[in-house]
Chain A
């Protein structure tokens, strides 16, 4: 592996670790009932009343 490839690989590993760390911190207290599809519900609930 060349020096530039090693540098890119280290950078990629650092980027992935940073993203994973951020999500882990934020997700610590997610409740069992919190699911991805609630996003669409949040938008519909937040819309102006027709």
Chain B
């Protein structure tokens, strides 16, 4: 049962072929069996999930269906405030983050009928791309033990890939949805900045934070997006723009869409298998009627400098109390990154914010006059060995973090929607990721392209052997 996609399970529950209680028990059994190795969960709310599933089954039997996720078990990154459950945010403090309101995205999924299985492990304070955590255990890669799961939404990536849950929420400030999705061989969507409310989720960087779905199929990501997107009065940055119907548009042909393969930056230093997988995906999309051309992009390195200033300054301001009063509670790399932010001047911060606006405007105007979407690798190499990337000294760990997330971070500065989908496998079975970036608020097109590729991909449906 846990091999079903979210949409398949939702349909089976609606048809009363599977009960929510059965699906919930299947997930709990799988968590009990595999999470000792994976460390994907921080909190498992077995009692709450069972009670909710039974109630939803009774409602369905009485003819009431709450919404498209009626009875489907989901789990949330441990920085989403879920009523009644603690949010450690990957720190050693069980209730590091509290909020007067429940995370809006979680509340919308619950209103659509989802069952909350629990809270998912993450990199401490969402600061790091490898999935290691000194307090709650390093999240292991389901495909290859001892290798990074990707971060910071590491538990979300591993839990979805391993079939412990049917879908999850992650957050993405520099790649934290896309990196674990690519490392774990699943689908992850970083929506446009402002598309999904971040209210009720721990902030890391107000300018760069995004919430989004992590699933085993593109259709599931589209379904979750439709439910969580849209204006929220609790988030001043959330857009009033209509969400549209990306789910209904998935099957539309991609003929005529114009795609770019970047000539600069995105293939620098990537491993041959990563390059080959992205180029194969581009050929496949071309064979389905899209046109693919090389294109030189405005220099992403400039946007990375801007993002570094914004992220460091904002994260240090947000987490100043723990960084200043209780630094011994934080891991060395997290402490080091927060410390830098205390020394960034207001002048540099504001210049970076102004530059960000200029760079984003220029990118959107120049690139999307030529093409409808960009194809690029998500990770520069298959998930590396965790011990290798977390070996001291701390300065080197921070540099490795920067290298591993160099392909995802520019898109946080640009605010564009980016979908990552499995694109192939290394010789030893580690997954590879394809990123599809589109126009602002055009999640429908990136999802349509991702779905077209997914249907053609011969690795579709492959699951890790745990």
Query: Residues on A close to B: CB < 8 A?
Result: 8, 11-13, 15-16, 19-20, 22-24, 26-27, 30, 34-48, 50
In the complex, the answer to whether B354 meets A43 with C-beta atoms within 8 Å is no
Docked-complex contact B440 and A47, CB < 8 angstroms: yes
* 14 additional contacts (CB under 8 A) given A45-B361, A47-B439, A47-B442: A8-B394, A20-B345, A23-B352, A26-B302, A27-B351, A34-B358, A35-B357, A41-B361, A42-B357, A43-B194, A44-B441, A45-B364, A46-B368, A47-B441
The interface residues of chain A lying within 8 Å CB-to-CB of B354 are 27, 30, 34-36, 38
**Chain B contact patch, size range:** 35 or more
Q: Indicate whether B360 reaches chain A with its CB closer than 8 angstroms.
A: yes
**B343 and A43: CB pair below 8 A?**
no
The answer to whether B241 and A47 have CB atoms under 8 Å apart is yes
Could you say which residues of chain B place their CB within 8 Å of the CB of A47?
A: 241, 439-442
Segment with Cβ contacts to A, from B154-162, B252-260, B303-311, B454-462: B303-311
Instruction: Tell me the complex Cα distance, A43–B192, Å.
Output: 8
Q: Give the shortest distance, in Å, between A40 (CB) and chain B (any CB).
A: 7
Interface flag for B216 (CB, 8 Å): no
Nearest Cβ in chain B — how far from A37, in angstroms?
7
Evaluate contact between B305 and A44: CB separation under 8 angstroms: no
Residues in A whose Cβ lies below 8 Å from that of B353: 36, 39
* Contact indicator per residue, chain B 235-247, by CB within 8 Å of chain A (1) or not (0): 0010101100000
CA gap between A24 and B356 in the complex, in Å: 13
How many whole Å from B376's CB to the nearest CB in chain A?
A: 18
Tell me which of B305, B336, B343, B365 contacts A46 (CB under 8 A).
Answer: B365
A23 to B355, Cβ gap below 8 A?
yes
Chain B residues in 8 Å Cβ range of A45? 361, 364
Minimum CB–CB distance from A46 to chain B (whole Å) comes to 4
Task: Return the chain B residue nearest A37 by Cβ.
Answer: B357
B337: nearest residue on chain A (CB-CB)? A15
Which residue of B239, B242, B445 has the most chain A CB atoms within 10 A of its CB atom?
A: B239
Query: Does B439 lie within 8 Å of A36, measured CB to CB?
Result: no
Closest to B442 in A: A48
CB distance from A21 to the nearest CB of B (A): 9
**B5 to chain A: closest CB distance in Å?**
28
Using a CB–CB distance below 8 Å, which chain B residues touch chain A? 192-194, 237, 239, 241-242, 302, 305-306, 308-309, 312, 336, 339-340, 343-345, 348, 350-358, 360-361, 364-365, 368, 394-395, 415, 439-442, 445
Chain B residues with CB under 8 A of A50: 242
Name B352's closest neighbour in chain A (CB-CB): A23
Given contacts A16-B340, A23-B306, contact A40 B364 (CB under 8 A): no
A47: nearest residue on chain B (CB-CB)?
B441
Given A23-B306, A43-B415, residue A16 in contact with residue B440 (CB < 8 A): no
Q: Are B308 and A19 in contact (CB under 8 A)?
A: yes
CA distance A46 to B365 in the complex (A): 7
List 19 A-B residue pairs with CB atoms under 8 Å apart, sorted by A's residue number.
A8-B395, A12-B336, A15-B340, A16-B343, A19-B305, A26-B355, A30-B358, A34-B354, A35-B354, A36-B353, A36-B354, A40-B237, A41-B361, A42-B440, A43-B364, A44-B440, A46-B439, A48-B442, A50-B242
Which residues of B lie under 8 Å from residue A12 when comparing CB positions?
336, 339-340, 343
B358 touches A16 (CB 8 A): no
Chain B contacts of A15 at CB under 8 A? Answer: 340
Contact B360 A43 (CB under 8 A): yes
Give the chain A neighbours of B344 by CB distance below 8 A: 16, 19-20
The reply to whether A48 and B441 form a contact with Cβ atoms under 8 Å apart is yes
Complex Cα distance, B365 from A12, in Å, reads 36
Whether A42 pairs with B360 at a CB distance below 8 angstroms is: yes
CA distance A5 to B357 in the complex (A): 37
Task: Give the CA-CA distance A19 to B302 in the complex, in Å.
Answer: 11
List chain B residues, Cβ under 8 A from A39: 353, 356-357, 360, 415
In the complex the two chains form, is A43's CB within 8 Å of B306's CB?
no
Residues of A within 8 A of B340 (CB): 12, 15-16, 19
- Inter-chain CA distance A23–B354, complex, in Å, is 10
- A12, A35, A36, A37 interface centre (most CB from chain B within 10 Å): A36
- Select the residue from B192, B309, B348 with max chain A CB neighbours within 10 A: B348
- For A20, give the chain B residue with the smallest CB separation: B348
B312's partner among A19, A36, A43 (CB-CB below 8 A) is A19
Whether A42 and B352, one on each chain, are in contact in the complex, defined by CB atoms closer than 8 angstroms, is: no
In the assembly, what is the distance between CA of A11 and CA of B399, in Å? Answer: 12
Q: Which residues of A contact B352 (CB under 8 A)?
A: 23, 27
